[in-house]
Amino acid sequence: VNPQSLLTTVSDISEIFAYYKVNESEYLEYKRQQLSGQKQHEENNVELILSDGSIYSHKGTLETVEGDFERGTGSIAFRVRFPNPDGLLKHGVTGKVRMMTQMDNICLVPQKSTFEIQDFTYVYTVDSASVVKVRSFQPLERYNNYYVTQDFSPNTAIVYEGVQMMKDGITI
């Protein structure tokens, strides 16, 4: 040990920051929803999924969004603060950040039930007479499912599987 040697590092881990990046289209959707008031609940309801797949017991709060997009990747960084009263989280731990939101009056449509033609998204519906009809719709978000806030009533029947075999107007 010499006079220039670092003996220890002291850090406060009572709160931990998680940094993650989103692409430009996800950021723009986030800002649109924030401006419409949909994101207020979500910003204080952020979950951390730990590397073992478990969900961290404390919710985080979105604090900041970087001011610039990275030129090479086209992404922008977000920062979330998580309380760490038990000291479970340490510097360098990895995981996934999940922002929770509440959406009212939506229809959840699985992607495998849809098809696209020239940037329009379609689904086959079945009416009360068992006749198949093609309907276009505007998806709100797109992950493994589409979230639709309009275009469908609560009782709309959607063809879930076998979309490739369907045709408009057939009876099933």
Q: CATH code at 81?
A: 2.40.30.170
Domain range for 25:
15-99
Using CA atoms of 17, 22, 26, 28 in order, give the dihedral in degrees to the nearest 10. Answer: 80
Structure letter (DSSP) for residue 171 = B
d(CA 170, CA 98): 41
Question: 111 with 142, same domain?
Answer: yes
Distance CA 127, CA 108 (A): 18
Tens-binned pLDDT, residue by residue, of the chain (172 aa): 677 877 777 777 889 999 999 888 888 877 877 777 665 555 678 899 999 999 999 999 988 888 899 999 999 999 999 999 998 998 888 999 988 766 777 788 888 899 999 989 999 999 989 999 999 988 876 667 787 777 787 788 888 888 888 889 888 8
Contacts of 7 (CB under 8 A, 6+ apart): 1
Domain match, 77 and 129 both: no
